[in-house]
Amino acid sequence: AAGVIQSPRHLIKEKRETATLKCYPIPRHDTVYWYQQGPGQDPQFLISFYEKMQSDKGSIPDRFSAQQFSDYHSELNMSSLELGDSALYFCASSPLRPNEKLFFGSGTQLSVL
Amino acid sequence: DAKTTQPNSMESNEEEPVHLPCNHSTISGTDYIHWYRQLPSQGPEYVIHGLTSNVNNRMASLAIAEDRKSSTLILHRATLRDAAVYYCILRDGRGATNKLIFGTGTLLAVQP
């Protein structure tokens, strides 16, 4: 069965650079969620999209932005990268029916040097 | 979102049952109890969820207290592959989105 696809798997950037992470949800899933997980931390919700509109917002820094496209894939854009942005970034998808479970991708490991 | 409290870590032996507790004394009537787990270097994975009645699926069972202030995830026969962080999460069934707010889960170690 198709799963949530994230790219790239690993990304190395330097301070003040920009990064773009991509997420391809499971077919027919219209909602995408982004999470950040620092070393030894629990996943923190950043933002979610439904039908290309932002549906919920968590602790996403102003330096980050995200969008969902017409094919439902989503991109997380990160600018002016800081050392503290080094983390595992997960994308998840689900249908928007109440109480649907989330399916997570394998994540993108971002290292900021 | 209502909070949950779980032990930081637990240990089990392979092929023995494991009972992972979760306290959620401030749960509201519309909160569903969800369990996810995260294996090392992987994204979280759905395990089970329920509202009031006990639930069973091929992965686990969920026992919910009558007053709903606590619940227990039951792995009937632990395997080495069950070693993971287990998260108990409350989610409002009326919520506009299905987002999950992760707290501090239980790190389960399984000994051979």
Spatial separation of the C-alpha atoms in residues A63 and A77, rounded to whole Å:
8
| CA–CA min distance B34, chain A (Å) | 9
* Geometric angle at alpha carbon A34, from A30 and A39, rounded to 5°: 155
List the structure tokens of A95. 């249908």
Among candidate residues A58, A64, A57, the one with its CA nearest the CA of residue A19:
A64
8 Å CB contact between B22 and B33: yes
Rounded to 5°, angle at Cα A80 from A75 and A82: 100
Residue of B nearest to A37 (CA): B43
How many angstroms separate the CA atoms of B35 and B63, rounded? 12
Instruction: Determine the Cα–Cα distance for residues A44 and A32; give it in Å rounded to an integer.
Output: 15
Q: What is the CA radius of gyration of chain A?
A: 13
What pLDDT, in 10s, does the model give residues A62-106? 999 999 999 999 999 999 999 999 999 999 999 887 778 899 999
B14 DSSP 8-state letter: T
Extract the tokens encoding A8: 């790239």
Radius of gyration of chain B (CA): 13
pLDDT digits (tens, 9 = 90+) for B18-73: 999 999 999 988 899 999 999 988 999 999 999 999 999 999 999 999 999 999 99
Between chains, do B46 and A102 touch, taking CB under 8 Å as contact?
Answer: yes
Looking at the complex, does the CB of residue A44 fall below 8 Å from at least one CB of chain B?
yes
